[in-house]
Structure 1
Amino acid sequence: MSTQEFDADLIVIGSGVMGGIIASRVAKAGKSVIILEAGPRVKRADIVETYRNAPVKLSLANMKAQGSGSPFPNPPHIPSTYGKYLVQTGPVSYPTKYLRVVGGTTWHFGSALWRMIPNDFKLKTLYGRGRDWPIGYDELEPYYCEAEAELGVTGVDGQDESGHGGQAWPPRSKPFPMKGLNVPYFMQRMDEMLRPGGYNPVMEPHGRASRPYGNRPVCGGNNNCNPVCPIGAKYDGSQHIDLAERAGAKLLENAVVYKIEHGSDNKITAVNYKSPDGTSHRLTARHFVLAAYAIEGPKLLLMSTSEKFPNGIANSSDQVGRNLMGHTGISMNVMTNEDVWPGQGPTELLVYLNYRDGEFRKDIPSYKTKFRNTVTSAQTASDLLAKGVLGSQLDSEIRRISARSLNIAVDFETEAQPQNRITPSKTKTDAIGLPVPEIYYSVNDYWNAGRDFAVKDLQKMAGLINADVLKVDTKHQDRQHIMGTTIMGDDPKDSVVDRDCRTHDHPNLFIAGTGVMPSSSCMNPTLTGAALSVRIADQLLKEI
């Protein structure tokens, strides 16, 4: 086909951070780009106002906006994941919450932007667990730097992110784009009490501006980063979509892609999408990027069957949808015996990483322990009122609980297991007739061993900070970190994409996002997905 016979040089399915990075870079190079987003464009002012008026805000259980507290739209053609959209079939629930709007899930993410460390890429070789990556840290490091600049990461240079208080780790060729924010009193006081026990604090790298950065103002410390930054100081994917559009990319919102077509040479030729009214449309391109998140992405691939690919696009290995991972966690609520006042500044976390890496990973998963910098005053007041507490006693109790109540959470690394998977439901469809995602998820004895070990570790920490343990919740908490389902590997027989994130089966189809990760580490995956997306963009520009 000639250039004129294509609708675009590149079609990107999904407008989150991964799709936005790729679309903006390719569009800036003068190539024609179409971005397809299943959901609508949203305005920050509208989301903030909806959240301000929501009857439910924060839950002590997981500090996430719940149910009616989610201020993002819920139109029939893209049902909200806060409802019953995701069908759970496994022994462990995987109730993840992602957004189908222009800009994607980074609108409501906590903004943690961590690098993986070198040993995370060699899990099987070093510790006999999970899978190795076909690429290593050294190969990805320059792309980590570019991704940090793209997202505007704030962090502490020279910090040992292994948690051992030694030399800077992991290796970096460039400093963070922005210096860290001021450390609040709560975190300073935790450090004073925990350091004698061998716990060295690590300040979380994140996507909030500590100086004016692009169009973003300095973080005002509003402390409701989830579900929405009210002033736009925190990065979200809509910012890259804006850049892409200014460079000439075309965005089609409310365009739900439901089928991918291929030619006789196995190259992808077109995508089909539905509008909210159910009408179908078709677009062609030279190259395609699937950046629709690690649940919607594999669902689309599995729905796109043909005579030549009866099991779906990119699925000759039968690995599409499989190897779903997440940071399934536990938590502990405590009440300190002094005022420590969490909640000052943004929801940036104080993190301890004593068990991020080491020989112990042969027996238990690596894990991250985080002190949440949040206060649930509204929930506290509601609970006290339900108990009949009124007047000056109500005021006193709200102050006491707000000043002393802490939630300490653990995020565990999980292994890629083929039985943990996403499939299109055979019995349930959405408003435009498309199957909803069906999820089977479980944990193994490796995770159970980590849970038992970490419970004792949490209790030790509670003793060091002189706190009374109110509750330990070990019921498989979901951390909203979706990984796996289209994993990377050198062997087309047991992976979906190659080291360049190109599908083994289709030379002009790339998959962007955390779904390609063969292992999870114990750290938030967004920055790693972004680094891989920068790498995909570079490869595309060599080929288009």
Structure 2
Amino acid sequence: MSSSQEFDADLIVIGSGVMGGLIASRLAKAGKSVIIMEAGPRVRRADIVETFRNAPVKLSLANMKAQGAGSPFPNPPHIPSTYGDYLKQVGPVPYPTKYLRVVGGTTWHFGSALWRMIPNDFKLRTLYGRGRDWPLGYDELEPYYCEAEAELGVSGIDGQDESGHGGAAWPPRSKPFPMKGLNEPYFMKRAAELLAPGGYNPVIEPHGRATRPYGNRPVCGGNNNCNPVCPIGAKYDGSMHIDEAERHGAKLYDNAVVYRIEAGDDGKIRRIHYKKPDGTSHQLTARHFVLAAYAIEGPKLLLMSTSEKYPNGIANSSDQVGRNLMGHTGISMNVMMNEDVWPGQGPTELLVYLNYRDGPFRKDIPSYKTKFRNTVPTSQIAASLLAKGVLGSRLDAEIRRQSARSLNVAVDLETEALPQNRIVPSKTHKDGIGLPVPEIYYSVNGYWNAGRDFAVKDLTRMAGLLNADILKMDTNHQDRQHIMGTTIMGDDPKDSVVDRDCRTHDHPNLFIAGTGVMPSGSCMNPTLTGAALSVRIAETLLKEI
């Protein structure tokens, strides 16, 4: 392991999620001295599973979501849960995203859909006059997609056309998936059969679930509670790379909230300052730094790090830090089938339709993904029936009937990078150790509205093909918990935060890892793209340290 009396480490990584873990493990395995900073505590899978199992049943939709994705995880004062009022909303459209501040990060409770973007997603402005272009293209990122898929253990179907058009394999791949795809449950096969006459081509999602023993991960058992936690560890989560980094000598500082990044007069980052839960302040130095604290906590930290030389914060000469917040703001439809299809077997997501993933229409409406959620809202069904006075054997029969026939179909719409959509440190609200909480302004434009209106008609057509009754069409700006933007990538230091290598324009030894650097988000889950960029950052760092 390399060492230096001048610095505490060769590299400090702020954030222990999938992005930080990938970089830390690669550098540690190469013999570099690495320190990983995590605001929250280390958690044990057995404890989270037990807490989830023992949680009281919540009957309202809001509480169901909180129980299902947030309540099993710790909520100490120094890392307030995003399931409460931690995120301050000041915009016309709420952005109630949910992320975890624990060792391993938000991948503990993510659905684990791991998609590549397609070539046209990297040049939206050039092709469609929308959003921003990337400074790099799909071909340049493709080898890193392969490496990221191997690191995360992705299962998928080789030769599948992920454009949704039912043609040849797309996008281009230089290597097959590390594992074969998951088995499709009956309801997905039946839905695909009914939708085929309408020209809808089924696509099976690539996933971070093991379909064969993979490293220390067992085969997915289809438990159907991947959110909030995979009980057996078949699904990838970021703690796996943190464990690997530690085995190779990396040091983890958990319950350590970084609140200031300090730069010297030459622009290089010198040290970071962090607080422990008791409020005491400490500092560490390194040769290089990676900010991997996700796309809300990351820009908040940069904006908090003001000084006489950097009055607007670190990496912010462009005034773009915190701006261009994106997400997959969506809509959904609840339907009742006229036959039993029995959802709820296997992973929570698998069957999607991508007929409107790409094409000339993107000049007028955003691309979108349509997904069939493989979940059963049994407690909501029971609560509704009880409220109507249904009891006894009739209650039991009706719960069974509705559970077998209820489906939720959701649309994830692409959003553009808009500078007014931003996150800043709150000037009025602080957390338990006196640090500002994130304040979020979010909105959608006419482009998104046009996509919503188009998708409502599309969903209605799908319901007809399914011979299903529409129970509810919810168009109320649903958040998909896919945080993108806020530290975007570009060639011009005047309108971007990092360059094509994810190095900040202002500070040569500070890199930003994660989905916050994405100039556009497509309509697909962004985690794999962030992971590919992180593998690329690690490669750059290994050349420089």
Report if the CA contact (8 A) 1:151-1:207 is conserved: yes
* 1:59 Cα deviation from its structure 2 partner: 6.5
* Deviation by residue 1:368-412 (Cα, 9 ceiling, x = unmatched): 000001112122223322322221111101110111000000000
In the alignment, the residues of structure 1 paired with residue 190 and residue 33 of structure 2 have an alpha-carbon distance, to the nearest angstrom, of 53
Q: Which residue of 2 aligns with 1:329?
A: 330
The correspondence of residues 260-409 of structure 1 with structure 2, limited to 5 A, is 260-409=261-410
In the alignment, the residues of structure 2 paired with residue 472 and residue 509 of structure 1 have an alpha-carbon distance, to the nearest angstrom, of 45
Q: Which residue of 1 aligns with 2:222?
A: 221
- Farther-moved stretch of structure 1 (350-359 vs 369-378): 369-378
- Farther-moved stretch of structure 1 (97-106 vs 182-191): 182-191
Instruction: Return the letter of the residue paired with 2:435.
Output: L
Classify 1:441/1:66 alpha carbon distance in 2 versus 1 (closer, same or farther; 3 Å). Answer: farther
Report if the CA contact (8 A) 1:56-1:65 is conserved: no
The TM-score normalised by the length of structure 1 is: 0.98
Q: Which residue of 1 aligns with 2:14?
A: 13
Instruction: Return the letter of the residue paired with 1:503.
Output: T
2:243 is aligned with 1:246: no
In the alignment, the residues of structure 2 paired with residue 60 and residue 433 of structure 1 have an alpha-carbon distance, to the nearest angstrom, of 32
Q: Which residue of 2 aligns with 1:79?
A: 80
Q: Which residue of 1 aligns with 2:95?
A: 94
Report if the CA contact (8 A) 1:58-1:66 is conserved: no
Classify 1:68/1:148 alpha carbon distance in 2 versus 1 (closer, same or farther; 3 Å). Answer: closer
* 1:57 Cα deviation from its structure 2 partner: 5.9
Instruction: Return the letter of the residue paired with 1:443.
Output: V
In the alignment, the residues of structure 1 paired with residue 63 and residue 410 of structure 2 have an alpha-carbon distance, to the nearest angstrom, of 9
Report if the CA contact (8 A) 2:349-2:372 is conserved: no
Instruction: Return the letter of the residue paired with 2:9.
Output: A
* Deviation by residue 1:121-140 (Cα, 9 ceiling, x = unmatched): 00000000000000000000
* 1:32 Cα deviation from its structure 2 partner: 0.2
Q: Which residue of 2 aligns with 1:116?
A: 117
* 1:306 Cα deviation from its structure 2 partner: 1.0
Q: Which residue of 2 aligns with 1:471?
A: 472
* 1:316 Cα deviation from its structure 2 partner: 0.1
**SS across alignment from 2:25:** helix
In the alignment, the residues of structure 2 paired with residue 430 and residue 490 of structure 1 have an alpha-carbon distance, to the nearest angstrom, of 36
Q: Which residue of 1 aligns with 2:33?
A: 32
In the alignment, the residues of structure 2 paired with residue 55 and residue 167 of structure 1 have an alpha-carbon distance, to the nearest angstrom, of 48
The TM-score normalised by the length of structure 2 is: 0.98
* Deviation by residue 1:325-364 (Cα, 9 ceiling, x = unmatched): 0000000000000001111112132100000000000000
Q: Which runs of 5+ in 2 are unaligned?
A: none
In the alignment, the residues of structure 2 paired with residue 316 and residue 63 of structure 1 have an alpha-carbon distance, to the nearest angstrom, of 43
Q: Which residue of 2 aligns with 1:458?
A: 459
**SS across alignment from 1:302:** helix
Aligned-residue CA RMSD (Å):
1.3
* Deviation by residue 1:224-280 (Cα, 9 ceiling, x = unmatched): 000100000000000000000001000000000000001121000000000000000
Instruction: Return the letter of the residue paired with 2:84.
Output: G
Q: Which residue of 1 aligns with 2:257?
A: 256
Instruction: Return the letter of the residue paired with 2:538.
Output: A
2:406 is aligned with 1:414: no
* Deviation by residue 1:468-526 (Cα, 9 ceiling, x = unmatched): 00000000000000000000000000000000000000000000000000001000000
In the alignment, the residues of structure 2 paired with residue 329 and residue 447 of structure 1 have an alpha-carbon distance, to the nearest angstrom, of 9
In the alignment, the residues of structure 1 paired with residue 456 and residue 61 of structure 2 have an alpha-carbon distance, to the nearest angstrom, of 19
Report if the CA contact (8 A) 2:12-2:37 is conserved: yes
In the alignment, the residues of structure 2 paired with residue 221 and residue 16 of structure 1 have an alpha-carbon distance, to the nearest angstrom, of 24
Q: Which residue of 1 aligns with 2:532?
A: 531
Report if the CA contact (8 A) 1:257-1:274 is conserved: yes
**SS across alignment from 2:296:** helix
**SS across alignment from 1:5:** coil
In the alignment, the residues of structure 2 paired with residue 60 and residue 174 of structure 1 have an alpha-carbon distance, to the nearest angstrom, of 42
Q: How many residues get paired?
A: 543
Report if the CA contact (8 A) 1:488-1:497 is conserved: yes
Q: Which residue of 2 aligns with 1:540?
A: 541
The correspondence of residues 111-190 of structure 1 with structure 2, limited to 5 A, is 111-190=112-191
In the alignment, the residues of structure 2 paired with residue 91 and residue 298 of structure 1 have an alpha-carbon distance, to the nearest angstrom, of 21
Instruction: Return the letter of the residue paired with 2:442.
Output: Y
* 1:423 Cα deviation from its structure 2 partner: 0.2
2:118 is aligned with 1:107: no
In the alignment, the residues of structure 2 paired with residue 398 and residue 142 of structure 1 have an alpha-carbon distance, to the nearest angstrom, of 49
In the alignment, the residues of structure 1 paired with residue 73 and residue 62 of structure 2 have an alpha-carbon distance, to the nearest angstrom, of 21
Report if the CA contact (8 A) 1:65-1:227 is conserved: no
Q: Percent identity?
A: 87
* 1:61 Cα deviation from its structure 2 partner: 7.2
Classify 1:459/1:343 alpha carbon distance in 2 versus 1 (closer, same or farther; 3 Å). Answer: same
Classify 1:57/1:357 alpha carbon distance in 2 versus 1 (closer, same or farther; 3 Å). Answer: farther
In the alignment, the residues of structure 1 paired with residue 435 and residue 59 of structure 2 have an alpha-carbon distance, to the nearest angstrom, of 32
In the alignment, the residues of structure 1 paired with residue 58 and residue 303 of structure 2 have an alpha-carbon distance, to the nearest angstrom, of 36
Q: Which residue of 1 aligns with 2:436?
A: 435
In the alignment, the residues of structure 1 paired with residue 514 and residue 363 of structure 2 have an alpha-carbon distance, to the nearest angstrom, of 27
* Deviation by residue 1:45-99 (Cα, 9 ceiling, x = unmatched): 1111111111246865798444896210000000000000000000000000000
Q: Which runs of 5+ in 1 are unaligned?
A: none
Report if the CA contact (8 A) 1:56-1:67 is conserved: no
- Farther-moved stretch of structure 1 (85-94 vs 44-53): 44-53
* 1:171 Cα deviation from its structure 2 partner: 0.3
In the alignment, the residues of structure 2 paired with residue 40 and residue 334 of structure 1 have an alpha-carbon distance, to the nearest angstrom, of 41
- Farther-moved stretch of structure 1 (527-536 vs 392-401): 392-401
Report if the CA contact (8 A) 1:59-1:66 is conserved: no
Instruction: Return the letter of the residue paired with 1:422.
Output: I
Classify 1:57/1:220 alpha carbon distance in 2 versus 1 (closer, same or farther; 3 Å). Answer: farther
**SS across alignment from 2:28:** helix
Instruction: Return the letter of the residue paired with 1:226.
Output: N
Instruction: Return the letter of the residue paired with 1:399.
Output: R
Report if the CA contact (8 A) 2:11-2:289 is conserved: yes
Instruction: Return the letter of the residue paired with 1:515.
Output: G
Instruction: Return the letter of the residue paired with 2:542.
Output: L
